[in-house]
Amino acid sequence: MAISIEDIKKLRAMTGAGLADVKKALTEAEGDFDKAKELLRERGLAIAAKRSDRETSNGCVLVKKVNDFAAIIALKCETDFVANGADFIKLTSDILDAAIAAKAHTLDEVKTLKVGDADAQAAVTQRSGITGEKMELDGYEVLEGENIQVYDHMGKHTLCTMVQLNQNNEDAGHKVAMQVAAMKPIALDEASVPQAVKDEEYKVAVQKTKEEQVEKAVEVALKKAGLNPNHFDSEDHIESNQGKGWITAEDVAKFREIKETVSAEKAANLNENMIQNIAKGRVGKFLKENCLVCQEFQFGDGDKQSVADYLKKQDKELKIVAYKRFTLAAE
């Protein structure tokens, strides 16, 4: 049977599929819209299955607040060409609208919500079939309550944040949301950092400090022996410097003997109290740089101050209740 252009336009508006795909589905379904939609859905599933092992490093991240409910969602794909397409961004926006309207709290809930004529997951699969790229919903975050500010970094839909304060202060909330975007904190404050993270940071700091103490001892010994430590800082440099005539085979042998002997002696005689104190200082620095309220505030009037100090200047009772952040970038 002949398929009219009006029917093609109607099904395309309903599904977002390409004109050629819509026409083919309607032809095969002999004009039956329900059958045609099912054909498009099945083709989307087939394409999605074939590309299930592909990496989705691009996509669209959106954030929105309606009354006392705010959410971030990410729809991921393979290329920035698809990610920047109007249809892809609209699908992400439609799914976010549905999630906020339903006040969904989990990604699993979001996937079952109605978006157009299908649930969100089916709509994503169908879009995958149209573009030929793998797509997946990811990164769903929620905040509920009063005094929430949302931020889409530079309006590029790749990094979004939400911040909730205990008082109404839109300017402060917006600036802290920008702070979260720029400085990627791992926790609100030190108390919010899991003990396992602190323990791991301390362990790494102890090991790094021990290695540095040994390296310093070797460096001092090399200088005393008349060798330039910079000539022996890697095997590649040793080979290169020897080829240039800057060091001799005897120098290399002398370096290796000093390194082996001094490293063993220093490692066996490290000052454990000093090591622990230095490691604790490193952990403190890590927490200061990665806990939101402790971070140096990036959007003040020029004076150095922490985020907590900035908030106190606005109102002595002003505090951050919670924050959320999601980005497509590998960090």
Q: What is the pLDDT of residues 287-322, one digit of tens each?
A: 999 999 999 999 988 789 999 999 999 999 999 999
Both tokens of 254, joined, read 């002398």
Q: Among 2-11, 55-64, 214-223, which range has the highest average pLDDT?
A: 214-223
Question: Rounded to an integer, what distance in angstroms lies between the CA atom of residue 260 and that of residue 253?
Answer: 11
119-158 confidence digits (pLDDT tens): 999 899 888 877 778 899 988 999 999 999 999 999 999 9
- Domains (range + CATH), the chain: 5-50 (1.10.8.10), 58-185+322-327 (3.30.479.20), 195-289 (no CATH)
Query: Alpha carbon 37 to chain centroid distance?
Result: 35
Average pLDDT over residues 166-170: 96
Q: How confident is the model at residue 15 (pLDDT cuts 50, 70, 90)?
A: low
As a whole number of angstroms, the distance between CA 184 and CA 198 comes to 17
Q: Is the pLDDT of residue 51 over 90?
A: no
Give the residue among 149, 66, 113, 199 at the shortest CA–CA distance from 324: 149
DSSP string, 222-287: HHHTT--GGGGSSHHHHHHHHHTTSS-HHHHHHHHHHHHHHHHHHHHT--HHHHHHHHHHHHHHHH
DSSP codes joined into one string, 124-172? HHHHHHHHTS--EEEEEEEEESSSEEEEEGGG-SSEEEEEEESS--HHH
- Quick one: which of 191, 150, 184, 186 has its CA closest to 170? 150
pLDDT digits (tens, 9 = 90+) for 266-291: 999 999 999 999 999 999 999 999 99
pLDDT at position 267: 95
CA distance 169 to 290: 24
Residue 9 or 12, more confident = 9
CA 196 to CA 275: how far, in whole Å?
Answer: 20
Token duo for residue 271? 């000052």
Contact 309, 318 (CB under 8 A): no
pLDDT class of 11 with cuts at 50, 70, 90: confident
State the Cα–Cα distance between residues 232 and 241, nearest whole angstrom.
8
Question: Over the stretch 234-278, which tens digit does the pLDDT of each residue have?
Answer: 999 999 999 999 999 999 999 999 999 999 999 999 999 999 999
User: Within 13 A of 33's CA, how many CA atoms are on the CB side?
Assistant: 12
Residue 274 CB: number of other CB atoms within 10 A? 11
Name the β-bridge partners of 159.
327
Q: Are 164 and 142 in contact (CB under 8 A)?
A: no
Q: Which tokens sit at 238?
A: 């040793």
Q: What is the spatial distance between Cα 131 and Cα 88, in angstroms, rounded to a whole number? A: 10
Q: Which residues contact 157 (CB under 8 A, 6 or more apart)?
A: 60, 61, 62, 83, 89, 92
Whole-number pLDDT of residue 46:
61
Residue 104, phi then psi, degrees to nearest 5: -70, 140
Q: In angstroms, rounded to a whole number, what is the distance separating the alpha carbons of residues 13 and 180? A: 39
CB 73 within 8 A of CB 142: no
Alpha helices in 114-229 (DSSP H): 120-131, 170-183, 195-224
- Model pTM? 0.79
